[in-house]
Amino acid sequence: MIRVTDLALPLDHASEALEAALCARLGIGRPDLVRFSIARRGNDARKKHAIKLVYALDAVVEDEAAVLARHAGDPHVRPAPDTTYRFPVMAPEGWTGQRPVVIGAGPCGLLAALILAQMGLRPIIIERGKAVRERTKDTWGLWRRAVLKPESNAQFGEGGAGTFSDGKLYSRIKDPRHLSRKVLTEFVKAGAPEEILTEAHPHVGTFRLVTMVMSIRETIEGLGGEYRFGTRVEDFEVADGQLTGLHLSNGTFLPASHVVLAVGHSARDTFEMLHRRGVYIEAKPFAIGVRIEHPQGWIDKARYGPSAGNKILGPAAYSLAHKASNGRSVYSFCMCPGGRVVAATSEEGRVVTNGMSQYSRAEFNANSGLVVDISPERDYPGGPLAGVELQRRLEARAFTAGGSNYHAPGQKVGDFLAGKVGTAFGSIEPSYKPGVKLTDLGTCLPPFVIDAIREALPVFGRQMPGYDHPDVVMTGVETRTSSPVRIKRGADLQSINTRGLYPAGEGAGYAGGILSAAVDGIKVAEALALDLVKA
């Protein structure tokens, strides 16, 4: 099979034009084309009046060797990659060894548990939060009634933080083994639309993620896996550098020699426990800032010009970056077309923002994080957990600024740039619930963050007209962009000083987003299984 990449056609091309373009690109007649399929489809919107669809196609042709030989110097005509997933090991029939444990049922933990189950190892999944249906009710309880449940919210519970997001399923990670294809294939089996296998920037949205997570759980349980919801790991038992078991919040002890630690970026009490236990952990850079909201129609027009609203293109996304004069990078983060800003705290007395969309991306506002990079060396040099403490301080300030009732502090861009506090929202209403209080965001974030964002907004406004419109709303604070720590691991993917512990995913500092976390879950599951089965 041959893969042809970077094949561009007009946005409104006829269906038969794709086959004709493929034959022309390969220099073959239509009788020589046996069949073809779309491997990937994206768009090139750099010229708004001539937007193109860009394809990667897999083709079966007559005399494939001759066609490849004619295009030997063409990087866009190559043998199609083999994306078949192969298990590195399988448990022997009747295997009775100690069962592996997966801590956390977010994207990383789910895929780790699924792979372990498919290899016949019957994993035990420990999840501090609730099953996803109950968790969803609790999460909406914060949004509708300002009632927070610290163990069941937008961060904790089956599905992890990614459940209440845009459900983006793409990543910039290097993936030579095509593990992302395995992830997407499993998601389709669990109910995701098949288009995620071919779209360049696929997403599924919150409601579909809920049903997918439930389906994956059923698969894992059907293969002998076991879930324990509402159960938090309180402590580790370690002997001579080897993990031997887990002390659980229900008062029981679970013997365990091989554990995937996939707790997500908000399990601060777990980070503290690891530090007390002497597991090597270090502070890492992340970013902080605000959520910014625009009418989705503005973004569509800025990105797609006269093609705005085209069903093939769908609601537009954007990515912006600026290097501020104070040396800080300001950039958009986790942009959610046609979505809403959501309350994402997991601790009482704190306010945190995040973005969420449904599959349709049909809500009025677009939103994105607008964040500034920070690092341990410059901003929180006080040890491995100093970034956690910085997050807590800023989130507590936001709670106070919002009225101490889980309302978020907000400010219109015009007022923010003028250094004043407004008295009413303008033409754009904030979507964050339970509510937004107009205030000075400078009371919630460090001055260097405010200065960098204040400088970047007009720059972004020149790149995307309307971006810095005075009525645009910013809501704070966005502090959970990625983990503030890294739980360092070696080449064998185990903790560098605690054997049997496999730090994984976003919480351990090795992923960012659903797809990269799920891929990392596969990697650690494979490493764990190879070590466990040979033992």
| Helices assigned H by DSSP within 345-385 | 376-379
Note whether 139 and 145 are within 8 A (CB).
no
What is the Cα–Cα distance from 255 to 247, expressed in whole angstroms? 9
What is the average pLDDT across 462-484? Answer: 98
Assess whether 491 and 421 both reside in one domain: no
**CA separation for the pair 70, 26 (Å, rounded):** 9
Does residue 249 sit in the same domain as residue 391?
A: no
pLDDT at 239 over 80: yes
pLDDT band at 205 (very low <50, low <70, confident <90, very high): confident
Q: Model confidence at 454, in pLDDT bands (50, 70, 90)?
A: very high
Final residue of a structural domain among 432, 457, 478: 478
Same-domain status, 14 and 46: yes
Considering the domain architecture, whether residues 343 and 438 belong to the same structural domain is answered as: yes
Who's near 262: CB < 8 A, 6+ residues apart?
102, 103, 104, 106, 108, 109, 112, 504, 505, 507, 508, 517, 521, 524
Report pLDDT digits (tens) over 389-409. 999 999 999 999 999 999 999
What letter represents residue 240's amino acid? D
- Please compute Rg for the chain using Cα positions: 24
Q: Give residue 357's identity as a one-letter amino acid code.
A: S
pLDDT digits (tens, 9 = 90+) for 103-124: 999 999 999 999 999 999 999 9
User: Are 265 and 315 in a shared domain?
Assistant: no
Q: With 90 as the cut, is the pLDDT of residue 534 above it?
A: no
Evaluate if residue 517 carries a pLDDT over 70: yes
Domain finish residue from 15, 44, 79: 79
Q: What is the mean pLDDT of residues 189-195?
A: 96
Q: What is the pLDDT confidence band of residue 371, given thresholds at 50, 70 and 90?
A: very high
Identify whether residues 410 and 274 lie together within a single domain.
no
Query: Residue 217 belongs to a domain with what CATH number?
Result: 3.50.50.60
pLDDT band at 16 (very low <50, low <70, confident <90, very high): very high
Q: What percent of the chain has pLDDT over 70?
A: 100
Q: Which residues, at least 6 apart from 22, have a Cβ–Cβ distance to it below 8 Å?
A: 4, 7, 33, 36, 57, 59
214, pLDDT greater than 70: yes
Residues 243 and 209 in one domain: yes
pLDDT at residue 165 greater than cutoff 70:
yes
- 338 pLDDT band, cuts 50/70/90, is very high
Determine the pLDDT at residue 396: 99
Residue 94 in any domain: the answer is no
Indicate whether 517 and 402 sit together in one domain: no
- Where in 321-426 does DSSP place strands (E)? 321-323, 329-336, 339-343, 353-357, 365-374, 408-412
pLDDT at 207: 83
Residues 506 and 467 in one domain: no
d(CA 15, CA 127): 47
Look at residue 232 and tell me if it is in a domain.
yes
The percentage of the chain sitting over the pLDDT mark of 90, rounded to a whole number, equals 96
Residue 328 burial class via C-beta count within 10 angstroms: exposed 0-12, middle 13-18, buried 19 and up:
buried
Looking at residues 20-35, what average pLDDT do you find? 97
- pTM of the entire predicted model: 0.96
State which of 24, 46, 79 marks the end of a domain.
Answer: 79
- DSSP codes of every residue in 285-307: -EEEEEEEEEEHHHHHHHHHGGG
pLDDT for 438: 98
- Supply 391's token pair: 């997050």
Among left, alpha and beta (phi > 0; psi -120 to 50; other), residue 119 is alpha
Mean residue pLDDT across the chain: 97
Q: Which domain holds residue 441?
A: 285-478
For residues 365-377, average pLDDT: 98
What's residue 167's pLDDT?
A: 85
Q: What is the pLDDT of residues 476-510, one digit of tens each?
A: 999 999 999 999 999 999 999 999 999 999 999 99
Tell me the mean pLDDT in the region 180-196.
97
* Number of domains composing the chain: 3
Residue 535: predicted pLDDT: 66
Can you read off the two tokens belonging to residue 97?
């060894």
Distance separating alpha carbons of residues 214 and 231, to the nearest angstrom: 18
